[in-house]
Amino acid sequence: MNIIKLEEESKRNLLELLLKRSPSQYGTYTDTVNEIVENVRKNGDAALFAYTERFDGCIVAKENVLVTEEEIDAAYGQVDEELLGVIRKALVNIRAFHEKQRRYSWFDSSEEGILLGQKFTPLSKVGVYVPGSKAVYPSSVLMNIVPAKVAGVREIVMTTPPDRDGKLNPAVLVAAKEAGVDRIYKAGGAQAIASLAFGTESIPKVDKIVGPGNIFVALAKKAVFGFVSIDSIAGPSEILVLADETANPRYVAADLLSQAEHDEMASAILVTTSESLARKVNQEIDGFLQQLPRREIIEKSLDSYGYILLADNLEEAISAANDIASEHLEIMTKDAFTVMTKIRNAGAIFIGEHSCEPLGDYFAGPNHVLPTNGTAKFFSPLGVDDFVKKSSIISYSREALEPIHEDIIRFAAQEGLTAHGNAVKVRFE
């Protein structure tokens, strides 16, 4: 990995480099994606099925686009019993964590006849997109479906691309069934996003689309935003480890590589106050690379987006971590909990040397759908709140309105909205 001194210029250059990984930077694909979206919007199933044959190499039609219970039952027979047990254990933790995020409607009233409040209503229908090309992620299936179920979403539909034989990954099907999905469709890419956004003869229109995907999926979600809600425009995965001289270099190296293996554009950064640790981490990385099957992907990731930043002191290191606002942030310092209190920007924070990032990916319970590309400065992890909407409740009696009605009329007059003022005035004529 590149070892550089942490200075304002080096930090600025790194931030610019990381931002180039954002899907928003890939405008060359925009026209292609927009054409796909518009075609599906106009022609529904016909366009969807044609694109499935073109991009996925298999024939899907109205008769087989919906996954049957028989196909799901067959998937259970193909999934290892131990893996099924792990999925069910993870589900318990994920569900328990998200249950604590439940929000309830509230109302405040006064003796004057004023009632104010907020009403929480689950979304009616949500679409979950699951990728199916380079890698298969049943863990992401759980992370996207469970908070929607906890929120009380009435119907959850999932789309995922089929293989050339028209089949879906068994682990993905089993994870979706265990999490509580209602319907699963064989559809992938930008065409699946468009189908969920506008509806086709086979796939229902949803209120919100969530789930990761490649650049075409990301740009399609961007294109349909406004017609439906979306979770975010997710970029490549990233990790930042904040460490001092007390950190175990072998643990640090292993955790950096755990994200670098995702794809060539993943980012792995170590910010440390110890030059000795930096060099030991690089040595450990070289050793791990001799063993890991995804070596080629990891090496490309580290060559392009792998950095070790040497800070003069811990405060400078913390400041850099907040500026980078990483998706995953691990803290391996002498007083990790105190450092955590100074972190303002991170998708998920892992505290201590045994709280490795894969713990969050698979098992601990917090959601692993996290803000990327610096958006942790203003976005949060996927959660129950993403699947509910809020309505304000306002109720005034005549006695409560009377003493303030002239104030409202005066405010409306200042804005030139006389009909607003009249709506209050007529109640006291």
**So which residues are the catalytic ones?**
327-328
Phi, psi of 405 (to 5 degrees): -65, -35
Residue 84: Cβ within 10 Å count: 15
Burial class (CB in 10 A: 0-12, 13-18, 19+), 186: buried
Which residue, among 130, 160, 193, has the nearest Cα to 56 in the 3D structure?
160
Q: Are 139 and 94 in contact (CB under 8 A)?
A: no
User: What does each C-alpha distance from 66 to 127, 184, 350 come to in angstroms?
Assistant: 14, 6, 39
* Nearest to 182, CA basis, from 161, 201, 206, 200: 206
Its sign, for the CA torsion 267, 11, 355, 254, is positive
The order of strands in the sheet holding 114-122 is 106-109, 114-122, 388-396
CA contacts within 13 A on the Cβ side of 243: 30
Q: Is 111 in contact with 399 (CB distance < 8 Å)?
A: no
Structure tokens at 86: 């792990």
Letter string b/e over residues 294-322, b meaning 16 or more CB atoms within 10 A of that residue's CB: eeebbbbbbeebbbbbbbeebebbbbbbb
> 215-224 vs 30-43: helix axis angle to the nearest 10?
60
* Secondary structure letter of residue 231 according to DSSP: S
Structure tokens at 129: 């997109």
Q: How many CB atoms lie within 10 A of CB 97?
A: 18
Distance CA 107, CA 394 (A): 9
**Cα separation of 99 and 339, whole Å?**
28
Contact assessment for residue 295 and residue 289, using Cβ atoms and an 8 Å cutoff: yes
Please list, residue by residue across 54-65, b when 16 or more beta carbons sit within 10 angstroms of its beta carbon and e when fewer do: ebbebebeeeeb
Residue among 131, 324, 123 nearest 221 (CA): 131
Strands 2-5 and 306-310: parallel
d(CA 189, CA 145): 19
